[in-house]
Amino acid sequence: MPTLLEGLNPQQLAAVTLPAQSALILAGAGSGKTRVLTTRIAWLIANGHVSPSGIFAVTFTNKAAKEMLARLTGMLPAMPRDMWIGTFHGLANRLLRTHHAAAGLPGLFQILDSSDQLSAIKRTMKALNVDTERFDPRKVQAFINQSKENGLRASQTEAWDPYQRKLTEIYAAYDEQCQREGVVDFAELLLRSHELLSRNDSLRQHYQERFRYVLIDEFQDTNRLQYRWLKLFAGPDTTLMAVGDDDQSIYAFRGAHTGNMQEFQRDFSGNHLIRLEQNYRSQGNILDAANALISRNPERLGKELWTDAGHGEPVMVFRAEDDRAEASWLCQQVRRLQDDNHRLSDIAVLYRANAQSRELEHSLFAAGIPYRVYGGLRFFERQEIKHALAYLRLLVNPDDDNSLIRVINFPARGIGARTLEQLTETALAGQVSLWQVCRQQPAGKSAERGVAAFVNLISRLREEALPLNLPECIAHILEHSGLNQFYRNETDGQDRLDNLDELVNAGRLFYQETGMNATSDQQLAEFLALASLEAGHHQANAGEDALQLMTIHAAKGLEFETVFLTGLEEGLFPSEHALSEERGIEEERRLMYVAITRARKRLYLSWAGKRMLHGRERWGIASRFLTEIPEELRSEIRPATQRSMPRATPATTPVTALRAAPTPAAPWRSGMNVKHAKFGTGVILDVAGMGNDLRVQVRFAGEHGTKWLAMAYARLEALA
């Protein structure tokens, strides 16, 4: 079928028309991998190499599976209905439904979502009389899911201490409970279907003979169990095609195992590897920057992206004085692009951590630029922020029923829905607020004691927090309401804690900007009004042109004409957590690679010399990733000349000292013993910048730890 293959480049054509042999397709960003996968399936069917029922294609998201099916519909005369194309969990579910008896499940078994699973685990723990203070149900849930994703039943997990043995006991009891009730969780779908095929030789042979062609999308994101499951479909005459990019493996925190790609080569494809390196998305300078950066990672399978679209504009770098200046500069650049008739929806602002969006959103709101947070919520719409604001509103006005309803049982105080319903009925009957009803409740039964505890808490917080200045008030509420502790106990609570820290930062900036003459309750009331305005205005409606804000992880698979990548400082990107892990920098570098390759025509990189982070001000030095981009590919935007720059081709100068050792005349060097007037003695670990931007990293003795010091201000002296 000539039309089916029309327009494919030589490497794409080789992958699509590959003979019946397994192969690993190393598909670079923007190289047309989805087209290759779907065209391969259509070509196999159209040329009689396999019947539709012999196709087994796996991807990671329902969106990707639907896109694959939609493309196939346009390629084939009649869309076959008996192909197996779907997500890992969707196909595992299909297998278990078909063979439920052999899998030990009822025909109409139900699937627990994450919330339902947590409730089931809590019931198990209650039946076992497990102390939920010591064994947090969310952490138990994470342990069970991680064990299943590693292919381990409770009897196969290592229990080397009493705590671990109790987790294993809960896991075993939870499994028994699910079996009795005829339900499975998401992790169970894959584990159960793996066990089914592993122990049932005839069933495994049946599917190996049926599925002659197995195709896997986004193979770099597979975990160990997923790969083991896929291998069970590989019979003597089965051809496997794995399509992926080891340079875009950014989900190790979810269990993705990059080594699966090397293992696939050993297990199936040998040296049969096809590289899709021609990029149809980005211009040359952007691709050269991405190639230079990722080449520093060891143990890559190796590829070099290229394009025939020309070099394009240089990668632009901006050094801001602080995070507020960074956000203000970004708004200016977006306005300039708008003036040049660029659509906001073609512009993306990327950041490493969700908490970074708060300052950006604040500036965009002030500038009247509509924006949309992709794959997440706006800062003031996030659950933890709304909880915190509800507590703050109760300080100003305890008769605020909406705020009271939100937090009366958060964190949990044993106040159930029925109790709240009774309180509401009493308030309506008496035409009073819920707070007034709560204050009159006796403290007898368990729920009544919970209500009394809540009243005492709010009353105490009003006495303690209202006299404080705004940032101190917010910090006090977060700590003494129990919100901080609740999220500390959550397995994935760090992101929410970072957002709560950012709320304190927002209060501090508001306090500084609006003056300090107002009373504390007036400050708080005005801050809450601003939060409501920022949450409620400039909401981009469906179809409305809006700037796209998102984390880099959320940007995977997307592309934009213009990309702004913000917060490029050591300790932020790469993250502090990554700096302490053996392979952490490699994963962060892959994340940077993903961010760069989202841009089609323009890429802006920015960093700040000072930033409010986790509730404190810190000096920043440029991320190592900036200097890993060759100097000839990047240009610096100078703040002093921004207004006089032509819009189409900004006046730029090369970046020459993003991160450089001091000049020979400078006295500071790594390994030098020093003394600080406040922090005492220490040793220099690193030196960065130059001139007025010179900074040194010092590890101090005792409790002060490691700090970056700006030498223009630091009281530091060298010791002999």
Strand partners, 316: 604, 635
78/459 Cα distance (integer angstroms): 69
Q: List the one residue out of 298, 318, 165, 310 whose CA is nearest residue 589.
A: 298
58 close to 88: Cβ distance less than 8 angstroms: yes
248/591 Cα distance (integer angstroms): 7
| Long-range Cβ contact pairs of 233-238 (< 8 A, separation 24 or more) | 233/56, 233/197, 233/207, 233/208, 234/208, 234/268, 235/205, 235/208, 235/209, 236/208, 237/20, 237/209, 237/212, 238/208, 238/211, 238/212, 238/213, 238/214
Q: To which H or E segment does residue 351 belong?
A: strand 347-351
Q: How distant, in Å, are the alpha carbons of 188, 508, 569, 622 from that of 616?
A: 43, 10, 16, 19
495/480 Cα distance (integer angstroms): 20
Q: To which H or E segment does residue 57 belong?
A: strand 55-59
DSSP letter for 303, please: -
Q: Per residue, what are the HEC states of 378-396?
A: CHHHCHHHHHHHHHHHHHH
- Is 198 buried (19+), middle (13-18) or exposed (0-12) by CB count in 10 A? middle
Tokens of 74: 């346009």
381/484 Cα distance (integer angstroms): 18
Tokens of 417: 């829905």
Q: List the one residue out of 368, 314, 373 whose CA is nearest residue 338.
A: 368
- Rounded to 5 degrees, what are φ and ψ at 98? -70, -35
215 close to 241: Cβ distance less than 8 angstroms: yes
Identify the residue whose tokens are 């143990």: 299
Q: List the one residue out of 123, 115, 164, 118 whose CA is nearest residue 137.
A: 118
- Is 632 buried (19+), middle (13-18) or exposed (0-12) by CB count in 10 A? exposed
Strand partners, 622: 569
18/272 Cα distance (integer angstroms): 10
DSSP letter for 661, please: P
205/110 Cα distance (integer angstroms): 28
- Rounded to 5 degrees, what are φ and ψ at 606? -135, 150
Length of the chain: 720
18/12 Cα distance (integer angstroms): 10
521 close to 396: Cβ distance less than 8 angstroms: yes
What single-letter amino acid sits at 263?
E
- Is 30 buried (19+), middle (13-18) or exposed (0-12) by CB count in 10 A? buried
Among all residues, which ones are annotated catalytic?
Answer: 33-34, 217-218, 248, 598
Strand partners, 57: 85, 215
DSSP letter for 265, please: I
How far does Cα 412 stand from its chain's mean position? 27
674 close to 658: Cβ distance less than 8 angstroms: no
For the chain, the farthest-separated pair of C-alpha atoms sits apart, in whole angstroms, at 83
How far does Cα 253 stand from its chain's mean position? 10
Residue 656 CB neighbour total at 10 angstroms: 9
Angle, CA 348 vertex, CA 344 and CA 351 arms, to 5° = 145
DSSP letter for 571, please: B
Distant-in-sequence, close-in-space partners of 387: CB < 8 Å, separation ≥ 6: 406, 407, 410, 483
